[in-house]
Amino acid sequence: MKVTPASVTLLVVAAFHDLCVAVPAKRDDTSIPTDIQILNFALTLEHLENAFYTQGLEKYTQQDFLNADLPAWARGRWNEIAQHESTHVSFLESVIGEQAVQPCTYSFPDTDPMSFVTTSFMLETVGVSAYSGAAQFLSQSDYITSSGAILAVEARQSAWINSAILKANPWNTAFDTPLDLNHVWTLASGVIVSCPSSNMPLPVKAFPALSFPAGAQPGQTVQVSFNATMVPSVPPQLYVAFIAGLGATFVPLSAQNTVEIPSTLQGVVFPIITSSSTAVTDNVTIAGPAFLSFHFKADGEDEL
């Protein structure tokens, strides 16, 4: 199988009529996480990435990568990424000390080299959004600097995967997307089976998972799915907030949970079901986010 945008299982969407622009999601919890809690949140994500690469590179040999038509040098680059993540874990553990959380048990969705590639792209991209969204809670300048240094590496890794391997544009808009802690945790918890009971409790919660149908394209009306029974009270009118960069656009969700996928946004977009047409704060989040990616060329044209 050749590596083409059509072989990528990720989707992307954008928004159109009845559009509003809003600042990305904010916590509705008035408590402010401590530096150690935020660092342990970051360490939890680094443990996850470290386990993913360790397990993946044990499962897929160089020949497996070649059989998937991946470049001969690709697996070596992922070995380097694996070393980066291991170093991030060691660094954060040394900073946090005895309070450092331990690795969890995971269930990753990859079943072959290409799904390993797309999962890697998702993890690195979400990692960038996690660090940029959490930076506001750090008070010590040394922590802010070191977190920014890790964020930059995660961004380079994400860009390399999307450009060199998936042959898509390595960036989205002029701004990347900072995500709320709970929205990051919703995405991460999808692959976490259990964590040690001795780990420090993190100041996060997961919303119901949100999914879009595979193969959906811009301009189509698709039915999304989420577990509404997990929501105490679902308002009669819901919206899909498509978060990209520093803004969000809103599209009404029908009573049948259908939404028309627009075509004005490109790159990675995080859709969230919300009860508000103007906000994506925790207290109006119903489900999500999902991770969607619609590849586009350097000239801005969609890659179909």
DSSP class per residue in 26-64: -----S---HHHHHHHHHHHHHHHHHHHHHHHHHS-HHH
Work out the angle at residue 172's Cα, subtended by the Cα atoms of residues 84 and 261, and round it to the nearest 5 degrees: 120
pLDDT number for residue 16: 29
**Residues in contact with 123: Cβ distance below 8 Å, sequence separation at least 6, in sequence order:** 48, 49, 52
pLDDT number for residue 25: 53
The answer to whether residues 266 and 169 touch, using CB atoms and an 8 Å cutoff, is yes
Sign of CA dihedral 86, 89, 91, 93: negative
The answer to whether residues 44 and 206 touch, using CB atoms and an 8 Å cutoff, is no
> If DSSP codes are grouped into helix, strand and coil, which group holds residue 207?
coil
pLDDT number for residue 304: 57
| DSSP type of residue 80 | H
Which pair of tokens denotes residue 142? 């040394």
Residue with tokens 């009860």: 275
pLDDT tens-digit profile, the chain (304 residues): 343 333 333 333 322 233 344 444 555 556 789 999 999 999 999 999 999 999 999 999 999 999 999 999 999 999 999 999 999 999 999 999 999 999 999 999 999 999 999 999 999 999 999 999 999 999 999 999 999 999 999 999 999 999 999 999 999 889 999 999 999 999 999 999 999 999 999 999 999 999 998 877 777 799 999 998 877 777 889 999 999 999 998 999 999 999 987 778 788 999 999 999 999 999 999 999 999 998 877 666 666 5
The answer to whether residues 277 and 108 touch, using CB atoms and an 8 Å cutoff, is no
- Cα pseudo-dihedral 223, 224, 228, 233, rounded to 10: -80
| Domain positions in the chain | 32-194
**Residue 112: other Cβ atoms inside 10 A:** 13
Cis peptide before 289 (omega within 30 of 0): yes
| Rounded Cα–Cα distance for residues 266 and 263 (Å) | 8
CATH entry 1.20.1260.10 includes domain 32-194: yes
pLDDT number for residue 27: 56
Backbone phi and psi for residue 241, each to the nearest 5 degrees, phi listed first: -95, 115
